[in-house]
């Protein structure tokens, strides 16, 4: 039991993430030794804890919006009333995904200006596709026999959706959300080019100022954040799909 706990990567990666976010200044001598040519070997315009918080908030807000809109769209096109819109919705989100995130940001700036908003909108649009796809795929995995039985038992369309279709689609839906959030964690780093304060700030500043130490510091924290998030999703997925497991 104790060994199994030690083997679980989640506590380790979470500890590393928090340590880097709060104790990065302690590593200053290390970066100074590794990059002796740099006058400022540590990114100090913002604390990494504040950047991490801002990054998490911007990802959470954009992913929540993407999840809400994406799931609603996925549900709509799998209803009999919305079936004919399905090709249109699928094409739209696919086109959205082919536009590179930098381009979405570049288009957003002249329209809404610099700051957090263009970043939020670009990220939300960019995270839609995996969620819409997963919602449709998830609802399609629900066995026809279960749908027939739900109708025969006298469930209304709303009851069938809430009690049978969504719970059975949830594991696939969650996989889509996971992909979407992980993509957004990476893309949010680029969003600092339009003035949003994220963990991408040290990376962008480092790249433009030839400061490799800044780039490493930002990249380390973003990478760990992605790993921790991915494992949290994995755990949640296991919890939600526990009825599939053998007794």
Partner 1 sequence: MIEFDGVGKSFGATRAIDALTLTIERGEFVVLIGPSGSGKSTLLKMINRLVEHDRGKIRFKGEEIRSFRPEEIRRRMGYAIQSIGLFPHWTVARNIATVPELLGWPAARIAARVDELLALLGMDPALYRRRYPHQLSGGQQQRVGVARALAADPEALLMDEPFGALDPVTRQTLQGELARIHRASGKTIVLVTHDIDEALRLATRIVLLDHGRIVQAGTPAQLLATPASAFVSDFIGRSDLGLKRLGLQTVAERLRAGEWVDGEALADTLSLREALSVFVERGVERLAVVDVQGRPVGALHFSDLLRRTG
Site string for partner 1, 57-86 (x = CB under 8 A): ------------------------------
Spatial contact of 135 and 114, defined as CB atoms under 8 Å apart: no
Q: Judged by CB under 8 A, how many residues of this single chain contact partner 1?
A: 23
Binding of residue 141 to partner 1 (CB under 8 A): no
Binding of residue 164 to partner 1 (CB under 8 A): yes
Binding of residue 99 to partner 1 (CB under 8 A): no
Binding of residue 154 to partner 1 (CB under 8 A): yes
Binding of residue 155 to partner 1 (CB under 8 A): yes
Please state, in angstroms and rounded to a whole number, the distance separating the CA atoms of residues 187 and 29: 30
Least distance between partner 1 and beta carbon 138 (Å): 13
What is the dihedral angle through the alpha carbons of 200, 205, 101, 108, rounded to the nearest 10 degrees?
A: 110
Binding of residue 152 to partner 1 (CB under 8 A): yes
Specify the residue, 9 or 143, whose C-beta has the smaller distance to partner 1: 143
Binding segment (CB under 8 A) for partner 1, from list 46-54, 76-84, 98-106, 147-155:
147-155
Q: 25, 100, 143, 209: which one contacts partner 1 (CB under 8 A)?
A: 143
Least distance between partner 1 and beta carbon 55 (Å): 35
Binding segment (CB under 8 A) for partner 1, from list 9-17, 25-33, 143-151, 205-213:
143-151
Q: What are phi and psi of 150, to 5 degrees?
A: -65, -45
Three-state SS string across the chain, please? Answer: CHHHHHHCHHHHHHHHHHHHHHHHHHHHHHHHHHCCCCCCCCCCCCCHHHHHHHHHHHHHHHHHHHHHHHHHHHHHHHCCCCHHHHHHHHHHHHHHHHCCHHHHHHHHHHHHCCCHHHHHHHHHHHHHHHHHHHHHHHHHCCCHHHHHHHHHHCCCHHHHHHHHHHHHHHHHHHHHHHHHHHHHHHHHHHHHHHCCCCCHHHHHHHHHCCCHHHHHHHHHHHHHHHHHHHHHHHHHHHHHCHHHCCC
Q: 146, 209, 210, 235: which one contacts partner 1 (CB under 8 A)?
A: 146
Specify the residue, 98 or 144, whose C-beta has the smaller distance to partner 1: 144
Binding segment (CB under 8 A) for partner 1, from list 83-91, 156-164, 189-197, 217-225:
156-164
Q: Which of residues 165-224 bind partner 1 (CB under 8 A)?
A: 167-168
Residues lying near partner 1 in the complex (CB under 8 A) are found at: 143-156, 159, 163-164, 167-168, 243-244, 246-247
């Amino acid at each position: 039991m104790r060994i199994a706990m030690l083997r679980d990567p989640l506590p380790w990666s979470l500890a590393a993430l928090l340590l880097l976010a709060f104790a990065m200044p302690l590593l200053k001598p290390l970066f100074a030794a590794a990059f002796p040519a740099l006058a400022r070997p540590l990114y100090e315009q913002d604390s990494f804890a504040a950047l991490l918080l801002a990054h998490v908030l911007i990802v959470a807000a954009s992913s929540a919006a993407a999840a809400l809109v994406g799931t609603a769209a996925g549900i709509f096109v799998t209803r009999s009333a919305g079936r004919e819109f399905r090709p249109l919705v699928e094409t739209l989100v696919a086109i959205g995904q082919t536009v590179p995130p930098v381009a979405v940001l570049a288009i957003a700036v002249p329209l809404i200006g610099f700051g957090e908003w263009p970043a939020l909108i670009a990220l939300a649009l960019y995270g839609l596709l995996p969620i819409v796809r997963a919602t449709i795929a998830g609802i399609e995995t629900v066995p026809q026999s279960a749908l027939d039985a739900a109708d025969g038992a006298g469930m209304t369309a709303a009851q069938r959706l809430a009690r049978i279709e969504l719970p059975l689609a949830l594991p696939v839906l969650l996989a889509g959300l996971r992909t979407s959030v992980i993509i957004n964690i990476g893309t949010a780093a680029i969003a600092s080019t339009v003035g949003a304060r994220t963990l991408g700030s040290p990376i962008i500043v480092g790249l433009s100022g030839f400061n490799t130490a800044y780039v490493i510091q930002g990249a380390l924290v973003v990478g760990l954040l992605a790993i921790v998030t991915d494992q949290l999703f994995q755990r949640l997925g296991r919890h939600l799909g526990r009825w599939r497991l053998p007794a």
